[in-house]
Amino acid sequence: MILIAVISLGAIGAIGAALLYATSKKFEVIEDPRIGQVQEVLPGANCGGCGYPGCGGFAAACVKADSLDGMLCPVGGAPVMGQIATILGKEVASAEPMVAVVRCNGTCAARPRNNQYDGVKSCAIASTLYGGETGCTFGCLGYGDCVAACNFDAIHVNPETGLVEVDEEKCTSCGACVKACPKNVIELRKKGPKSRRVFVSCINKDKGAVARKACANACIGCGKCAKECAFEAITVENNVAYIDFTKCRLCRKCVAVCPTGAIHELNFPPRKEAAPAATKPAAPVTDATPKAAEAPKVETKEETNQK
């Protein structure tokens, strides 16, 4: 009795094992072992910032590609790319570190609310419904779709200003927030030497008077900054200025001439003669000789806050 059971079970086991072995041989997927190795050094966040479907996709693309030009894991940055290059025996392409920049400085104080949104707190839903709670239909809505999209806890809504702020220590420039923002407020910009950068913190395309009425900190497209810029880095189109970060030399003259304080400078050392800033940029807007690399000499008597 026991024998029959043992034999029959054993036979079933043997047949099953044979079947499994045969199928696994027949349908075996041969994968380049290097894909696994590359994937191992990747951060594993699957953020899609590289443009491939997850870290696995990026690893496969790296192995397949002839050179690593144009391939960048924005999260891991140069160190991880270097590791990948060693694994694959390829040259690593140098990449400029980037960071997400929120181009809106319409704080609660500067941009009065004229209605009260009572729908789902989602930027995507609110923006398809209407222009927003303020007179400005371009700026940050503050419902935090980008916060939800960020895998690295690097972007948060500041309840005081009603705007989102990027934590540049944590930001990996994966671009998830850029895609999530229905208003295209967020842009990936060059991080800059010592994280120093200058940008127009407004994308309001309304005419100057309308924009100014909606928000005290709006760019009114006056063009003073463009005239001031010696490097043709600033263009004014559709009533709004834009600083091309590939041309900007961080001289900060534009910051000084902006009548609304819409141009922000970040992480510069304080200028010598401290003057009250127009708004609340991250670093106080002052008149001083910048010590930034590449920055040319700057005049020291500029009005920051023209009335």
Partner 1 sequence: MENKLYVSPSPHIHGGDSISKNMYGVLIALVPAFLVSLYCFGLGALIVTAAAVVFCVLFEYLIQKFLMKKEPTICDGSAILTGVLLAFNVPSNLPIWIIAIGSLAAIGIGKMSFGGLGNNIFNPALTGRIFLLISFPAQMTTWPEVGQLTTYADATTGATVLSLLNEGALDKMPTLCDMFLGKMGGSLGEVSALALLLGMVYMLWKKIITWHIPVSIFATVFVFTGIMHLVNPAQYASPLVHLLSGGLMLGAIFMATDYVTSPMSKSGMIVYGIGIGILTTVIRLFGSYPEGMSFAIFIMNGVTPLINSYMKPKHFGGK
Partner 2 sequence: MLRTFRIGGIHPPENKLSAGKKITALAAPKQVIIPLSQHIGAPAQAVVKKGDLVKVGTLIAKAGGFVSANIHSSVSGKVNKIDNALDASGYRRPAIYIDVEGDEWEETIDRSETLVKDCTLSSKEIVDKIAAAGIVGLGGATFPTQVKLMPPPGSKAEIIIINAVECEPYLTSDHSLMMEKGEQILVGVSLLMKAVNVNKAVIGIENNKPDAIAHLTKLAASYSGIEIMPLKVQYPQGGEKQLIDAVIRRQVKSGALPISAGAVVQNVGTAYAVYEAVQKNKPLFERVVTVTGKAVANPSNLLVRMGTPINDLIEAAGGIPENTGKIIGGGPMMGKALISAEVPVTKGSSGVLLLTKEESVRKPMQDCIRCAKCVNVCPMGLNPAFLMKYTVYKDWDLAEANYIQDCIECGSCSYTCPANRPLLDYIRSGKGKVMGIIRSRKS
Site residues (CB under 8 A) for partner 1? 113-120, 125, 129-130, 133
Among 17, 129, 274, 293, binds partner 2 (CB under 8 A): 129
The reply to whether 120 sits near partner 2 by the rule CB under 8 A is yes
**Nearest approach, Cβ of 203 to partner 2 (angstroms)?**
15
Question: How far is the C-alpha of 230 from the C-alpha of 173, rounded, in Å?
Answer: 29
For the chain, how far is it from start to end, CA to CA, in angstroms?
Answer: 103
Which residues inside 27-86 make contact with partner 2, applying CB under 8 A? none
Residue whose CB is less far from partner 2, 220 or 233: 220
Question: How far is the C-alpha of 265 from the C-alpha of 295, rounded, in Å?
Answer: 13
Among 28, 66, 118, 237, binds partner 2 (CB under 8 A): 118
The reply to whether 124 sits near partner 2 by the rule CB under 8 A is yes
Asked if residue 211 lies in contact with residue 219, where contact means CB atoms within 8 angstroms, the answer is yes
Specify the 3-state DSSP secondary structure of 201. coil
Can you give the length of the chain in residues?
A: 307
Give the dihedral sign, CA 276/286/237/223. Answer: positive
Question: How far is the C-alpha of 224 from the C-alpha of 228, rounded, in Å?
Answer: 6
**Nearest approach, Cβ of 118 to partner 1 (angstroms)?**
4
Residue whose CB is less far from partner 2, 207 or 227: 207
Residue whose CB is less far from partner 1, 113 or 227: 113
Which are the contacts of 193, defined by CB distance < 8 A and separation ≥ 6?
A: 250, 292, 293, 294
The reply to whether 267 sits near partner 2 by the rule CB under 8 A is no
Site string for partner 2, 180-219 (x = CB under 8 A): --------------------------xx--x---------
Residue whose CB is less far from partner 1, 82 or 182: 182
Measuring CA to CA, which residue among 269, 266, 244 is closest to residue 255? 266
Among 128, 159, 230, 276, binds partner 2 (CB under 8 A): 128
**Nearest approach, Cβ of 138 to partner 1 (angstroms)?**
17
Residue pointed to by tokens 């895609």? 179
Pick what 113 binds: partner 2, partner 1, none; C-beta below 5 to 8 Å, kind-dependent.
Answer: partner 1
Among 130, 158, 247, 294, binds partner 2 (CB under 8 A): 130
Q: Dihedrals φ, ψ of 46, to 5°?
A: 50, 40
**Nearest approach, Cβ of 131 to partner 1 (angstroms)?**
10
Residue whose CB is less far from partner 2, 137 or 235: 137
Question: How far is the C-alpha of 225 from the C-alpha of 221, rounded, in Å?
Answer: 9
The reply to whether 14 sits near partner 2 by the rule CB under 8 A is no
- 284-291 LR contacts (CB < 8 Å, sep 24+): 285/255, 285/256, 285/261, 287/256, 290/250, 290/251, 290/252
**Nearest approach, Cβ of 180 to partner 2 (angstroms)?**
10
The reply to whether 93 sits near partner 2 by the rule CB under 8 A is no
Residue whose CB is less far from partner 2, 122 or 267: 122
Angle between helices 77-88 and 33-41 (to 10 degrees): 160
Contacting residues toward partner 2, per CB under 8 A: 114-115, 118-120, 122, 124-125, 128-132, 137, 206-207, 210
